[in-house]
Structure 1
């Protein structure tokens, strides 16, 4: 009888713990804030619905002994009947089997030993070495080599309590839950055969042929195969790593909806957002709000309100306040455009290369260089950054303008730059004086990050203020030639070579004619220049009077074309 009381005491302790846990869990659900509508719209196949808990009723039916080979009394257990051999008990529609048992008829309970088996209908089977069953509370305490089977789900542990009223089994000393798709292990867990919902705590691990999920708290449904992430969790596969503290993961389709700044990592790239969507089979990830996409290998990143990445094609896309940041040189470059895009060509071949595209209304800033253009493309194939449609480039007090600017890089530093059509270089000396060079095209060569030579080719015109050794202005030189080469040392002009040679006209500082100090295509775009990394978002249009006049070429006349025209007239 004492042993029976001890068993009841054990049950009451577990029962109280279960009721407290369920009440606390219900309170937490009520206290949670509503999930964002956008997140809810994605969760049709991922959010498991909580089933309302049934109101627990005291069992009035009795536990019956159906069969045993031997029935006797034992002086050591005066309140029990000792039953041995092919023992069968029944409580309502549940049948329980064992090799031997102590049957407490008056309190409708029993202790069963060896080859313990419980059948509840034709879907739930419970096995173990020992069982204490209380018919009043309808709780079965199964110990040693425990196995619960519910259709395609199997639960293994050494200590399991199963509550028939709540149809809930829980273990507290380590266990394993298995279905056709996954194997889950944890220190503590519970499983509901009716709702197929399970909860795991402490050292949780979900193992799938394609990935492994580890956490301290996890919910999982064996019917939908959906895991609800409710605490810090890591999902690892051969190439990917996901970190999330809140979300859902469909282990069959590989689709995940993750919240609270979850992080997707693949091949040195990280995608982070307030809300993250990931499709394992398609290899795609999308980030919504406060998106950050980081390439830790090449030391660059993209930010914006929306980002997309395809790990299979290595395609990346960012928009809505999109910013590209390159921090490979220590001094970061910040680039903004309506859309930023990265494409990879000839993937997994010897000729693979990438293109970074920005469009439209592109502005970028770094302390030593700034620029604007309608769009730009950087290709790793030739390490060339090309600025299209009214590009402007600034370096300290120098401005470069043309119809197209190509900047060729060498190990992330400028090797040389090519300004194509209507090339114009302006160097500000003060607010009224500017060195100016214009031509059809211009090539600037760099060494150690500093310009050491410039070539201007075709219809070259020059307005230049030469200086003596103490930097005193001598006058203003105006020249024209076909080709100009300028050699610099420590950012100062060392010499100039004109072909053909032209002395031009040198005007003393006090005798400069009005209007001669500016080339006819001179323009100084100080009002457009990005001032800092925040200013890249403020697009400013050129003034109407400052627009470049495009070179308009007429139709090419073929040799002797006038002969054909005369034939037509005849």
Structure 2
């Protein structure tokens, strides 16, 4: 049986049943001859094919296949319109390129245009390529150019273990580039980290990303997750040695159960595992506050190993009411063991104010000392012993005689109002923090007074 319609549409079958009043033609294949519809470069094959001549629409429901110049599509049910080149498929739908090398799309319902080679995603769909696996339930995929626009919290998973999710996603399978709008999340399973924000982009080959709009970075390699916010957060590879770098700026705030901090800009170098905090950095741990011009924190398996303030350091610890232990110097290095402070080394213009605790746990005197060098050892988060050299000057004053102005070193400042309270408070930048970051850097804190 052979049917011709103009010079572009041909149908071949073993048997034809035709209903004149309804203009419905039923083409039936045989064991050695399947039904074939040919429309220019489109070929449809199946065992039983229904063709509505009046509507110029054909369909099958007993498994079929459509091929065009680019792709092959199989399904249990399928419809095809020669006029519009539109096709719709349901149940066990599989779409892939003819060589089965570029992509494979699997779903239960799909719309496809054999002229534009664009697939409309209308149900949960999986697209597998050599560079990523795409999961979506709404959007479109340009099979010819490898580009897609996806909605409804779609996600892209790369072989490297990265996952890009967003309310709206644009993904270029050829350029290996993704762009996310609305609740963007980029997770890195190898580094146990994630980037979140209102908008972000991801360059897969460069292992680089950018996020902004309530931007937040998460590091969850240990039990307690670190949450970090900056107006803009970037992650990228250095071209010369392939080390990974994360930067955040400006108005950076971070929170973890055991450590909190803020600064104007921050960077983390994977190569040396050091976090660099610039412009008015402040770090809190328990009752202690540390600030300086630059803070460098070395991490070992996401746990603080040591911290260094190379250009001015000030450490304060709240004791009681308006009293604080204080320490300042030109350079400070703190060493930690299992995340707890173990030792402090301070050099250059060392000044100390201490309130030693008596045997009955009370405080009755204040000590103020100066020297060139200091070394302090801690046990169970408390000062165990301290040494200062080579020359030490100081004075001991009973608390009831001390004047308030003598309770503080010149550069003392207590920034507790700026301290992030939880993982969501990092987004709340108080006016006092903006005022602080607008102050000049480069040692200005050494000139501040209470």
TM-score range, shorter chain: over 0.9
Secondary structure of 1:438's match? strand
Paired with 1:317 and 1:422, the residues of 2 have a C-alpha distance of 32
Alignment size in residue pairs = 434
Q: Select which of 245, 261, 268 maps to 1:371.
A: 261
1:137-152 equivalence runs, <5 A? 137-144=22-29, 145-152=34-41
Q: Is the 8 A contact 2:372 2:391 kept in 1?
A: no
Q: Quick check: 1:283 aligned with 2:176?
A: yes
Write 1 or 2 for the structure with the bigger share of helix: 1
Q: Is the 8 A contact 1:523 1:546 kept in 2?
A: no
Residue 121 of structure 1 corresponds to: 6
Paired with 1:233 and 1:339, the residues of 2 have a C-alpha distance of 33
Q: Is the 8 A contact 2:293 2:443 kept in 1?
A: no
Paired with 1:470 and 1:548, the residues of 2 have a C-alpha distance of 45
Flag the structure with more relative contact order, 1 or 2, with Cα contacts below 8 A and sequence separation at least 6: 2
Residue 275 of structure 2 corresponds to: 385
Paired with 2:221 and 2:195, the residues of 1 have a C-alpha distance of 14
| Distance of aligned partners of 1:275 and 1:307 in 2 relative to their CA distance in 1, 3 Å threshold | same
Residue by residue over 1:348-399, the C-alpha shift from the partner in whole angstroms, topping out at 9 and shown as x without a partner, is: xxx3211111001111111211111001001101101111100100011100
Residue 134 of structure 2 corresponds to: 242
Q: Quick check: 1:301 aligned with 2:190?
A: no
Paired with 1:270 and 1:293, the residues of 2 have a C-alpha distance of 5
Residue 321 of structure 1 corresponds to: 214
Please state how far the C-alpha of 1:162 moved relative to its aligned partner: 1.2
Please state how far the C-alpha of 1:203 moved relative to its aligned partner: 0.6
TM-score normalised over the length of structure 2: 0.93
Please state how far the C-alpha of 1:310 moved relative to its aligned partner: 1.0
Please state how far the C-alpha of 1:468 moved relative to its aligned partner: 3.6
Q: Select which of 11, 21, 25 maps to 1:136.
A: 21
Secondary structure of 1:515's match? helix
Secondary structure of 1:137's match? coil
1:387-426 equivalence runs, <5 A? 387-426=277-316
Please state how far the C-alpha of 1:503 moved relative to its aligned partner: 5.8
Please state how far the C-alpha of 1:518 moved relative to its aligned partner: 0.6
Residue 3 of structure 1 corresponds to: none
Please state how far the C-alpha of 1:345 moved relative to its aligned partner: 2.0
Paired with 1:255 and 1:371, the residues of 2 have a C-alpha distance of 41
Please state how far the C-alpha of 1:476 moved relative to its aligned partner: 1.4
1:38-437 equivalence runs, <5 A? 116-144=1-29, 145-208=34-97, 209-266=101-158, 267-346=160-239, 351-437=241-327
Secondary structure of 1:504's match? strand
Paired with 1:179 and 1:133, the residues of 2 have a C-alpha distance of 27
Residue 373 of structure 2 corresponds to: 483
Residue 26 of structure 1 corresponds to: none
Structure 2, unpaired ranges of 5+:
445-450
Please state how far the C-alpha of 1:422 moved relative to its aligned partner: 2.2
Paired with 2:391 and 2:384, the residues of 1 have a C-alpha distance of 17
Residue 506 of structure 1 corresponds to: 396
Q: Is the 8 A contact 1:302 1:318 kept in 2?
A: yes
| Distance of aligned partners of 1:546 and 1:218 in 2 relative to their CA distance in 1, 3 Å threshold | closer
Q: Is the 8 A contact 1:384 1:406 kept in 2?
A: yes
Secondary structure of 1:421's match? coil
Residue 447 of structure 2 corresponds to: none
Residue 529 of structure 1 corresponds to: 419
Please report the RMSD computed on the Cα atoms of aligned residues, expressed in angstroms.
1.8
Q: Is the 8 A contact 1:263 1:270 kept in 2?
A: yes
Structure 1, unpaired ranges of 5+:
1-115, 553-570
Paired with 1:342 and 1:195, the residues of 2 have a C-alpha distance of 45
After the TM superposition, list the runs of 4 or more consecutive aligned residues in structure 1 that deviate by more than 6 angstroms: none
Residue by residue over 1:427-451, the C-alpha shift from the partner in whole angstroms, topping out at 9 and shown as x without a partner, is: 1112311010001111000110111
Please state how far the C-alpha of 1:194 moved relative to its aligned partner: 1.2
Residue by residue over 1:82-125, the C-alpha shift from the partner in whole angstroms, topping out at 9 and shown as x without a partner, is: xxxxxxxxxxxxxxxxxxxxxxxxxxxxxxxxxx2212121111
| Distance of aligned partners of 1:244 and 1:230 in 2 relative to their CA distance in 1, 3 Å threshold | same
Q: Is the 8 A contact 1:138 1:165 kept in 2?
A: yes
Paired with 1:488 and 1:153, the residues of 2 have a C-alpha distance of 79
Secondary structure of 1:456's match? strand
Q: Is the 8 A contact 1:132 1:142 kept in 2?
A: yes
Please state how far the C-alpha of 1:513 moved relative to its aligned partner: 4.0
Paired with 2:283 and 2:91, the residues of 1 have a C-alpha distance of 57
* Higher radius of gyration, 1 or 2: 1
| Distance of aligned partners of 1:416 and 1:548 in 2 relative to their CA distance in 1, 3 Å threshold | farther
